[in-house]
Amino acid sequence: MVFTRFVEVGRVVMINYGPSAGKLATIVDIVDSNKCLVYGPTTDVPRQVITFRRIALTDLKCNVGRGAKAAALKKAWKADGIEEAWKASSWARKLARKEARKNLGDFDRFKVMVARKQKSKIVAAKMKSMKA
C-alpha cells in the first residue's frame, strides 16, 4: 500500500469536527503521535493544537517552514495556489454540489426534476436507437 498523503509541515488539511469544521488549514508543526498544530489565517482557522482524528489530509501541500506564522503562511498559500487547486479538486466540487443541493428552494427542485426528466428522455432515445 503506497501512501501519498502524509502528516507533515505544510500539509493542507480539512477540519472535520469542532468549531472550525469544514475549513481548510495547514499543519504548521507536529506535537506528537496524536496531535498537530494547525493554522489557517486565510480560512479563519485560529492557530490551535488539534488531534489527527479531527482532520482529514488532502492532496495539497504548501511550502512553509515549521512553526510558520500568519504572514509566511498567507504568502505560501498564494504562491502555491492552494485556494484554486482546492476549488478545482473533486473533493471540493463534491462538497459544493452537496451544499448547492441542500440550499435548493422548491422551485429549484422543480427545475432539477424537469432537467432530470429531459436528460433521461435523451438517454432513453439514444439507448433505443442503439438497440435497434
Please list, residue by residue across 14-50, b when 16 or more beta carbons sit within 10 angstroms of its beta carbon and e when fewer do: bbeeeebeebbbbbbebeeeebbbbbbbbbebeebeb
Task: Check binding of 1 to other proteins (CB under 8 A).
Answer: yes
H or E segment to which residue 37 belongs: strand 35-40
Find the part of the chain contacting other proteins (CB under 8 A) among 46-54, 81-89, 94-102, 122-130.
Answer: 46-54
| Near other proteins by CB under 8 A: residue from 56, 79, 124, 127 | 56
Site for other proteins in 9-38 (CB under 8 A): 9, 16-18, 21, 29-33, 35, 37
Burial label for 82, CB within 10 Å (0-12, 13-18, 19+), is buried
User: Cell for 88?
Assistant: 478545482
Site for other proteins in 68-87 (CB under 8 A): 69
User: Cell for 34?
Assistant: 496524536
User: Cell for 72?
Assistant: 509566511
Find the part of the chain contacting other proteins (CB under 8 A) among 48-56, 81-89, 109-117, 119-127.
Answer: 48-56
User: With CB under 8 A, what is the number of residues at the site for other proteins?
Assistant: 34
Binding interface with other proteins (CB under 8 A): 1-9, 16-18, 21, 29-33, 35, 37, 47-54, 56-57, 65-67, 69
